């Protein structure tokens, strides 16, 4: 398993074994369970040692899950407006298999537009679902290693199947705090944020700081509230791989 010469080769061969059947489950009694995605894609980007990356990834290898190797088609005959609308609609519905061709098509038509739409949607969503690190890492992966279907598949599967929660966004008020102020606060307290909760905060800020957004004052408000409630004493310690990823995010 350690004989792979590149992360692309490893993920093309084994990526399907890291895809979960469900990230969101609603039971008859009203109980909701959510399963957080692993950090395989972030590790692929930010952990340089390929053997270390593969060893970490194999902790999440599940042969019992969906084994299908999928080649993502493209919606070449659709106009831009329909593609934009369908991406948002299908993420909200959790229709991940129908979503993928629209994502791939937009990515190849206009990569920057694709990620701005995806990042914007993620910023509206619940910060605790930790989708920010996944979408940010997908963009960085494609920059570093080039596009492959399985990375789009794994990330968009999680983003859509985890479902959406806009509660914080709907009730957020505009903040007067600047992104530069937040950046300084994070950099000056690096040690404090080397935790699981800090991981969510840093990831959210990375996509917030990637573009200018119409509603970014609300996104800043959401992030500031999360940071204000942050107490290092109550934080869950993260593993060595997550620490390595976080250290790279600070750069």
Residues 67-124 have pLDDT tens digits of 666 799 999 999 999 999 999 999 999 898 899 999 999 999 999 999 999 999 999 9
Nearest CA to 200 out of 42, 94, 82 is that of 42
Confidence bin at 161 (pLDDT 50/70/90): confident
Residue 110 in tokens? 């206009």
- What CA–CA distance (Å, rounded) separates 128 from 234? 15
Neighbours of 223 (CB within 10 A): 24
pLDDT in tens, 14-68: 988 887 765 556 565 666 665 666 899 999 999 999 999 999 999 988 875 556 6
SS3 content of the chain, % helix, strand, coil (to 5): 65, 0, 35
**pTM (predicted TM-score):** 0.91
Query: By three-state DSSP, how is residue 26 classified?
Result: strand
32: phi then psi, degrees, rounded to nearest 5: -110, 130
State the Cα–Cα distance between residues 136 and 201, nearest whole angstrom: 13
Name every residue whose Cβ is closer than 8 Å to that of residue 211 and which is 6 or more positions away in sequence: 115, 116, 119, 120
pLDDT of residue 25: 62
Exposed/middle/buried for 231, CB within 10 Å: 0-12, 13-18, 19+?
exposed
> How far apart are alpha carbons 163 and 91 in whole angstroms?
8
> CA dihedral in degrees (125, 40, 185, 204; nearest 10)?
-10
Q: What contacts 44, CB < 8 A, 6 or more positions away?
A: 7, 11, 53, 57, 137, 141, 145, 151
pLDDT the model gives residue 190? 87
Output 192 or 11, whichever has higher pLDDT.
11
Burial 66-78 (b: 16+ CB within 10 A, else e): eeeeeebebbeee
pLDDT at 237: 76
């Amino acid at each position: 398993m350690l004989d792979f010469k590149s992360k692309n080769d490893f993920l093309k061969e084994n990526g399907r074994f890291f895809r979960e059947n469900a990230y969101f489950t609603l039971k008859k009694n009203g109980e909701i369970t959510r399963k957080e995605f692993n950090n395989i894609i972030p590790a692929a980007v930010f952990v340089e040692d390929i053997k270390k990356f593969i060893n970490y990834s194999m902790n999440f290898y599940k042969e019992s899950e969906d084994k299908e190797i999928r080649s993502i088609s493209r919606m070449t005959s659709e106009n831009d407006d329909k593609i934009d609308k369908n991406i948002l609609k299908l993420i909200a519905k959790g229709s991940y298999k129908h979503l993928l061709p629209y994502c791939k098509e937009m990515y190849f038509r206009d990569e920057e537009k694709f990620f701005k739409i995806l990042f914007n949607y993620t910023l509206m969503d619940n910060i605790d679902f930790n989708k920010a690190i996944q979408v940010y890492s997908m963009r960085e992966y494609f920059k570093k290693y080039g596009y492959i279907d399985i990375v789009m598949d794994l990330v968009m599967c999680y983003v859509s199947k985890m479902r959406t929660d806009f509660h914080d966004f709907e009730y957020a008020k505009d903040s007067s705090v600047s992104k530069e102020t937040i950046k300084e606060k994070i950099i000056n307290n690096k040690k404090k944020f080397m935790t699981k909760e800090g991981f969510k905060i840093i990831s959210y800020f990375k996509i917030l700081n990637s573009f200018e957004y119409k509603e970014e004052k609300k996104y800043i408000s959401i992030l500031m509230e999360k940071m204000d409630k942050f107490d290092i004493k109550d934080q869950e310690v993260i593993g060595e791989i997550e620490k390595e990823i976080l250290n790279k995010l600070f750069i």
